[in-house]
C-alpha cells in the first residue's frame, strides 16, 4: 500500500525523497514476499529482486522522459543496486553463475550510465563492479598466489570506473 502511495505522489510531485520512499517501500514488499513464499537463497530470490529493480528502472526511464532530475537518478541507482546486491548476497553458498550474473548486471548498469548520461546507473554499476571483483578475490583467491594478481585487477577496475566517470561528468552537468 505504501509503495502505491509513494508512486502516486512521486509521479505528481516529482521529488527525489519520494523516489527514495518508493524504493524502500518496494524493497520491503520484495523482502516480505520472499518471506511469505519461503524462498531459499539462489535464483528464486534474485528473480524477485530483479523484477523489483526492473519496476524502479522503468519508473526512472519514465521520469527521464518527463525531464525529472533528482527522482530519476535516485530510481536509476536503487533499481540496479537491488538486483546486483541481492545476486552477491544470495550467491553466498558458492553459486558462481549467480555471482557472475551479478557482475554482468553491474557491467550493464555501468554501460547504460555512459549511454544515458546517468549518475544513478553509474554509481550502481561502479560499486557493483568493484564489489564483484572483490567478492571473487576473497572467495576464490584468498589463500593462493593469485590474490596479488586479483588485487591488481581490482585496482585496474577501479581506475577504469574512475576514468569513465570522469568522461561522464560533463554530460551530467547539462
pLDDT, averaged per 10 consecutive residues of the chain (174 residues), comes to 56 66 80 84 86 89 81 87 88 82 91 83 87 80 71 80 72 54
Say what the pLDDT of residue 4 is: 57
Strand stretches in the chain, DSSP E: none
pTM of the full structure: 0.79
Distance between the two ends of the chain, CA-based, in angstroms?
Answer: 36
Asked if residues 119 and 81 have their Cβ atoms less than 8 Å apart, the reply is no
Domain locations along the chain: 2-172
Predicted pLDDT at 84: 92
Quick count: other Cβ atoms within 10 Å of Cβ 139? 14
Amino acid at each position: 500500500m505504501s509503495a502505491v502511495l509513494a508512486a502516486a505522489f512521486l509521479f505528481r510531485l516529482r521529488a527525489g525523497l519520494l523516489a527514495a520512499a518508493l524504493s524502500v517501500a518496494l524493497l520491503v514488499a520484495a523482502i516480505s514476499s520472499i518471506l511469505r513464499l519461503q524462498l531459499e537463497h539462489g535464483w528464486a530470490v534474485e528473480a524477485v529482486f530483479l523484477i523489483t529493480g526492473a519496476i524502479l528502472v522503468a519508473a526512472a526511464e519514465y521520469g527521464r522522459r518527463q525531464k525529472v532530475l533528482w527522482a530519476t537518478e535516485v530510481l536509476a541507482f536503487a533499481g540496479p543496486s537491488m538486483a546486483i546486491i541481492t545476486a552477491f548476497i544470495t550467491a553466498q553458498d558458492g553459486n558462481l553463475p549467480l555471482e557472475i550474473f551479478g557482475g554482468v548486471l553491474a557491467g550493464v548498469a555501468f554501460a547504460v550510465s555512459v549511454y544515458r548520461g546517468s549518475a544513478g546507473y553509474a554509481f550502481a554499476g561502479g560499486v557493483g563492479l568493484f564489489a564483484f571483483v572483490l567478492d571473487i578475490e576473497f572467495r576464490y583467491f584468498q589463500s593462493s598466489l593469485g590474490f596479488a594478481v586479483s588485487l591488481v585487477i581490482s585496482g585496474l577496475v577501479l581506475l577504469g570506473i574512475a576514468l569513465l566517470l570522469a568522461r561522464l561528468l560533463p554530460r551530467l552537468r547539462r
